[in-house]
Structure 1
């Protein structure tokens, strides 16, 4: 790092990688499959082509048996130079089927012969040799998709000298291909030859789909015939509802009655397929410290209606069940049914977008129900090329090493590259594709160290360490332009800010319908239900937290799992926690917004002081003209903004924004503030009183931090109107300014004022709960929140 410019190492750098060539077909292969050529004409050309020797071991037949045991436990060993790969072995099987693919990187091949051995596994001693097949590397064919996969063939086994044929045959396919081959994700790779056992599954590239989330709204209306054990006293009850780990309660019925009434809404997050049940329990408040179970019922979620809009849902009565220790039958409880029942109105709501991520970095704004989805407006292609200069994250054999992989998340689709073992400069060169339904969204990429490969110095499996993260807002990208850039990976640690390496990316945002994209800028940011039936702030915080837990739990059950620490880091699970550093950063974001007003006041002071006589005279002339012709005030203002926007076009940003360490106050943060930011919540300080006050302060300050950040975001959106940060939004605005200037010029000022006043004072009947087009346009403008750590 240059000591004179320490922040230069934290900036985006342009790169010139040798990207792949365009293929003759018109499709794009990504992590989610093939996209037809009628949507996009680009190809798999955002990565450097890496060639691999692929060996598919399909099966064998008629293998000889061991003369001693009379059976055969066969497996195949593929050897190329110093690299060896083995299939699993089958016990007592003469016609085994493996269907396994081995991939050897071409740039590491040091042999001209490929040897495929078939062996018989022995429990003790050396494995028996059954035969081999040898291939000359110069005769291996090359396959480029979309060519059909190479057909495997039967090969007779040869002896050690390769002179005579032995009993048995093996079916193989050998070809040279690139990382675009469909066999690439599932193949055994030579650069991970040191990984064995279950760790092999965690080094492969995978595509994950986050579960479809629904809101479960339960309106608890009333109950009938509630009885307590003490017959002399009427019960005072509440209802507790539980879905998985989510527990919500109604308020305590204010009166003691056998027919309590609540009419309260309880909202949960549920994921398809619906594995959990809705468990309702009615509890009687006997004493302040004692609750009595009155009744209970478990309801599967699939019985509830799926609501896509704001149409009403019919209510239903359900009989409650009570479990007690009555007559025992063996060791089982006897179930008692009685007449107590509960009145509910419950439904699964798919008209909302379930906020499973922070709203500042949202990557999907569609409702849950697929029936409400519109056509995509673009295609996002991302080539994850490589990383440079990664920090050693652990020790292996007495030296530092890193087993790095990259995760990208956009919408419901998560992708994970293969793990490059023991390399501080890994090369992935994997390309993935997403459909884009809204340009005002963010894709997040994170780099992690794989701690589940075995052979670590740490006892047992640890957590995958964070190496760094990159966010890219799609609206800041020019369409149909290939960006090839190196992003610094920055991590804030208790010891301070550290650069842990650089991530090299190539990406392109292709527009399918410019008219549709421009139309979206006038549409509400979120689905209609968010505005017709909004949630409270406390509900949103709780629902977002529960949604993130569900996503982390479901992705953690995949193979290989996308672990909880990875999902939480990608979804910014701690972004709402109190931090003195973030609070100062948001405060100074607001202060910087007033810098324009301060500059204007200084300029007016200079005009009044006649420091520049020519400027002062021109201001006097303009002032007199506007006083004599007040109808020119608004056209002049809009025309002035139009000219400013045209002038700023020359200096428009050419790169999407990235983490700004100065803006985030990450470079000048005080050590005590870092200790507070990385402190546990609740705090781990020893004094009980200090802990209580400290937690309360952090909770209140976290709210203030969010409000200050929102204020800063609104002001920064005003600045982005003419800054060309979002080129489409600025184009729309300056064209509007031009037409507004012309329209206001030819329209009498009194008419404009009258119409504006009547529109502002219009009757509530003519007002809509949906946000207006200008409001939706403004909320879609980018802010500097994307550039904060």
Structure 2
């Protein structure tokens, strides 16, 4: 077992970044860009050129523009044989890294050996205007190109260049699409992979297929009863019905199958009716394709009309497929269920609990603003030119909106200072922020972006209108143990539009109505959640730049359902923590009964007598007691948002073989000896769990046997006791019974015996069904 790390190393740290100065309006939600530090940038927008002179012997020109500021140089793409090119590219130079007083813009001709000079412009940085949104963008203008100073003393050259130059901040609209000076080492083909972008998760629907019956099937072998089932496919998802119990040409199933589909729908629903003609051979009797855009969309629990669909079968002539012919008909009820929330993430920390159909959405209750400021102490994630380096970017997910910051190249302390806003529809949701290392700056799609760590923040734990500025530890668990890979500094603010509406949300169901009217089984939900995750990752990977599969799966906790000894132990200790209060109360009550503190025991006797004589005070006393506990605990309420806890996760005390098992592939790739060791360990733990569950079942069966006459003598004694107790309780005031019972339970130790009580002896002698187990 590895050495337990210093708990302060993984602690949350409160920070005091320089935010809020010079705040400006940023987006359509009218939220201020005030949760990040303001960063000054010099923007150069190169639009187009005209009337450029030819430089080659052939009379052609392959122009491009070089924007140069000190040691930083940005290049536009070049056009072949074009004297009037249009680039429309934006370059951003961080003011913190500017060590020059003049900006040079040079037009050159791309050549095989050496690029030819065409013309140039230069600007004094002191004369460049400043722009502050929401001012309109600065209009570009034409500039006449000049020759080299050393050649013609600044004479005008042929050609003009249209551009705009201004000083701004990261709140500028051009910021996200700019080439940044801190990415000067990145090739032009990989610039798209480093820009900040906003992604929208596809709208997911449940596709419910109720396979009812078929008519007039035509099996090849008419001398036997067909054994028919229906296979349904939607893209990569497959499911099938059971064999029809009616072995005729008119089979009946009446079975529901469910799938997940993303809007816009790209794949049709394909149904195939097949006959099991042999143990490993199925014959296709008919096929039907249903485009999903023609399927009815259901928003509530109202029934959907059924339809008959024609089944077709391919004609095979001399081994080749020819035309199709009508085979039979199938009776279906197909709909797109929009009243559900398609669970593409774990419901324990879901970021969206709304139904799919937008018509069922309620108004937003607030706004979540997150400022991704910086990171510190990132570890090297790869090597480049013989040294360790990290190209870090952040991804945040809440609801349907995903965001990706720009990639800061070759920095262990990157500064993003980007702010994003989400509408909030439910406070019991979680925003997830992950940090990754970009492995696609050199081109190629085979490498994967590495995980640096992630943070989850539950909105219900945040106070409204308060800005939380903290540095969150980034933790990654690998086969060698838990490892801190750095810290990410965030600023978070949750603003609610109506406090009454937010409080009302606590009284409404967590999930949409359809989850309770027509609930889905846990096994079914797990399967659908897996399919939803695959669809989301596939759609996100098709964006530009792509949000890759490994990133989406890490953000959605795809592997959280896999068996882990560490998670099992962590969950066990969580349960023990929950019951810790009951155990403490039991110990305290036992001390009262044994008069460990006589004064406290006497006070409890007095309180007990008052509550028995005045039973109407019982409930007010309980609620008053809980009120006082809540007010007392207010002093120690959490002042910081939650973060990844290594102690709670049992990550800091996990054995190496347990971590090796957790990170093993499925199915396993380890040797038979290691698998045998794991199996024996699992059997040992399973045996303990089996014994514990068996003991619980035994106690329950003993309660059942009180009146089941499995033990005739015990049941006779219990029934007789119940009859006598009924008569005694009928003639005796209930308060007297409570007083006698209470005084008996709280009696002094000198009136107690160390032997078990009569009721306990009687209960332990009752029979259980464990005697009947083999």
TM-score calculated relative to the size of structure 2:
0.85
Is 1:565 the equivalent of 2:550?
A: yes
Instruction: Please name the residue that 1:81 is paired with.
Output: 70
Segments ≥4 residues shifted beyond 3 Å: 605-614, 685-698
Q: Distance in 2 between matches of 1:6 and 1:688?
A: 35
Give the total of aligned pairs. Answer: 686
Instruction: Summarize the Cα distance change of 1:399–1:689 in structure 2 as closer, same or farther, 3 Å threshold.
Output: closer
Bigger radius of gyration: 2
Instruction: Summarize the Cα distance change of 1:224–1:488 in structure 2 as closer, same or farther, 3 Å threshold.
Output: same
Note the residue ranges of structure 1 that are not aligned, 5 or more in a row: 37-41, 709-748, 751-789
The 5-angstrom pairing of residues 349-368 of structure 1 reads: 349-368=337-356
C-alpha deviation, 1:538, in angstroms: 1.4
Q: Distance in 1 between matches of 2:457 and 2:22?
A: 25
Contact 2:285 2:327 (8 Å CA) reproduced = no
Q: Secondary structure at the match of 2:616?
A: helix
Residue of 231, 235, 242 corresponding to 2:226: 235
The 5-angstrom pairing of residues 163-312 of structure 1 reads: 163-312=154-303
C-alpha deviation, 1:677, in angstroms: 0.9
Instruction: Summarize the Cα distance change of 1:218–1:688 in structure 2 as closer, same or farther, 3 Å threshold.
Output: farther
Of 136-145 and 250-259, the range deviating more from structure 2? 250-259
CA RMSD of aligned residues (A): 2.4
Q: Distance in 1 between matches of 2:498 and 2:72?
A: 49
Note the residue ranges of structure 2 that are not aligned, 5 or more in a row: 694-733, 736-774
Is 1:488 the equivalent of 2:477?
A: no
Q: Secondary structure at the match of 1:227?
A: coil
Is 1:15 the equivalent of 2:6?
A: no
Q: Distance in 1 between matches of 2:267 and 2:49?
A: 45
C-alpha deviation, 1:616, in angstroms: 3.0
Instruction: Please name the residue that 2:449 is paired with.
Output: 464
Instruction: Please name the residue that 1:50 is paired with.
Output: 39
Instruction: Please name the residue that 2:81 is paired with.
Output: 92
Instruction: Please name the residue that 1:121 is paired with.
Output: 110
Contact 1:682 1:691 (8 Å CA) reproduced = no
The 5-angstrom pairing of residues 35-46 of structure 1 reads: 35-36=29-30, 43-46=32-35
Residue of 566, 574, 578 corresponding to 2:563: 578
Of 48-57 and 338-347, the range deviating more from structure 2? 338-347
Instruction: Please name the residue that 1:593 is paired with.
Output: 578
Instruction: Please name the residue that 2:369 is paired with.
Output: 381
Is 1:514 the equivalent of 2:499?
A: yes
Contact 1:488 1:503 (8 Å CA) reproduced = yes
Instruction: Summarize the Cα distance change of 1:111–1:508 in structure 2 as closer, same or farther, 3 Å threshold.
Output: same
Contact 2:274 2:283 (8 Å CA) reproduced = yes
Of 295-304 and 361-370, the range deviating more from structure 2? 295-304
Deviations 1:564-606 (A, max 9, x none): 1100000000111111111111111111222222222332343
TM-score calculated relative to the size of structure 1:
0.84
Deviations 1:382-414 (A, max 9, x none): 000111111111111111111111100000000
Contact 1:364 1:412 (8 Å CA) reproduced = yes
Q: Distance in 1 between matches of 2:253 and 2:658?
A: 45
Instruction: Please name the residue that 2:334 is paired with.
Output: 346
Instruction: Summarize the Cα distance change of 1:145–1:499 in structure 2 as closer, same or farther, 3 Å threshold.
Output: same
C-alpha deviation, 1:688, in angstroms: 11
Contact 2:4 2:653 (8 Å CA) reproduced = no
C-alpha deviation, 1:625, in angstroms: 0.9
C-alpha deviation, 1:4, in angstroms: 9.9
C-alpha deviation, 1:618, in angstroms: 2.3
Q: Secondary structure at the match of 1:463?
A: coil
Instruction: Please name the residue that 1:604 is paired with.
Output: 589
Instruction: Please name the residue that 1:160 is paired with.
Output: 148
C-alpha deviation, 1:22, in angstroms: 4.9
Residue of 101, 109, 122 corresponding to 2:98: 109
Q: Distance in 2 between matches of 1:503 and 1:598?
A: 39
Instruction: Please name the residue that 2:460 is paired with.
Output: 475
Residue of 484, 487, 501 corresponding to 2:486: 501
Instruction: Summarize the Cα distance change of 1:215–1:460 in structure 2 as closer, same or farther, 3 Å threshold.
Output: closer
